[in-house]
Amino acid sequence: MKIRVAKSAGFCWGVKRAVNIAVEAAKKGKGKAYCLGELIHNKREIERLKALGMDFVEDMEALETGNTVIIRSHGVAPQVFNYLKEKGLEIVDATCPFVKEIHDKVTKLEKEGYPVLILGNPKHPEVRGIAGHIKDPIIVNSLEELEELPQFSKLGVVCQTTLNMDFFRKAVSLLALKAKELKVYNTICKATTVRQKETRELASQVDVMLIVGGKNSSNTTKLYQISKSVNERSYHIESKEEIDPSWFEGAEVVGVTAGASTPQWVIDEVVDYLRLLGEGGNWSGRGVCQAAG
Ligand code: F3S
């Protein structure tokens, strides 16, 4: 009986970088360090950062001059950046460089005269930040919405870094029928592609699959959907407390993966708890190994 943990589980490079930048700003920044929005979509990590002296605000108007503001990995629209600057705040920019590349791409597409379509969730901060770089973004989050689009003579396309690859493929095939000239940038982050691929593979090889991460994390939710599509016994949990031992009845192998915003210590807690369950006879999990990438 085994526990297999996906190699790609947990923080991606961009989130690790943002957390390090933010912790540094909390120590050395001017005044108090505030993060605009949750630094990452993980309640427990947010609590840890608060304990380090960082605070989180949703409303930028609440920020007072003389303090430090951290821009999280999702990035923001230029208008937000300018507002913070004019307000006299020290800005620490932890936008993921891969997200910045998308900002550059949409700006370029607009300059070249392409209407720009963003595939992604219009409410997601990353998508809002990308959209803020251009005048008339078209944001689409489902194939149904795509079907309803008119015909274009030319169209430029980018996508949210955490978009589901299957959706991206289907969307691009559909768009090929909607525009005479189509310029598509696949801006799904490699970390996302690898994580989704590993999740699909691992979920198809194990009896039970646990996906660890915030319920408000879009990339974790996507991993759960992918896992569930190949393995009915898939569970999305935020922490070990949510685990129900009955999930593992008759299971020989349990797979574990986690979203890009799930800290390693949360994953470790889950794996340790699974081990304990095995030892206590509730479930017979014994060894832990890392799933092949
Ligand atoms: Fe950046 Fe990719 Fe992570 S875009 S924040 S490295 S998922």
Would the CB of 13 count as within 6 Å of ligand 1? Answer: yes
* Beta pairing class for 116-119 and 152-159: parallel
* Residues 2-41: b if buried by 16+ CB within 10 A, e if exposed: bbbbbebbbbbebbebbbebbbebbeebeeebbbbbbbbb
Q: Which atom of ligand 1 is nearest to the CA of 73?
A: 5
Tell me the ipTM for this assembly. 0.99
- Under 8 Å between Cβ of 171 and 149: no
Which CATH class, in words, describes the domain spanning 2-10+191-290? alpha beta
| Residue pLDDT, tens place only, 230-251 | 999 999 999 999 999 999 999 9
Q: What is the CATH number of domain 98-188?
A: 3.40.1010.20
- Fold identical between 13-95 and 98-188? no
Would the CB of 73 count as within 6 Å of ligand 1? Answer: yes
Residue with tokens 């605000």, as numbered in its chain:
57
Higher pLDDT, 254 or 277: 254
Answer yes or no: CATH 3.40.50.11270 is held by domain 13-95.
Answer: yes
Would the CB of 120 count as within 6 Å of ligand 1? Answer: no
Choose, from 38, 126, 198, 238, the residue flagged as catalytic: 126
Ligand 1 centroid to 275 CA: how many Å? 31
Cα separations in angstroms, 281 against 134, 153, 235, 261, 288: 58, 64, 21, 32, 16
Q: What is the pLDDT of residue 293?
A: 43
Q: What is the pLDDT of residue 40?
A: 80
Q: Which atom of ligand 1 is nearest to the CA of 98?
A: 4
Task: Indicate whether 288 pLDDT > 90.
Answer: no
Ligand 1 centroid to 65 CA: how many Å? 30
Would the CB of 9 count as within 6 Å of ligand 1? Answer: no
Going from N- to C-terminal start, the domains of the chain cover: 2-10+191-290, 13-95, 98-188
| Residue pLDDT, tens place only, 266-283 | 999 999 999 998 776 555
Would the CB of 11 count as within 6 Å of ligand 1? Answer: no
- Whether 249 sits among the annotated catalytic residues: the reply is no
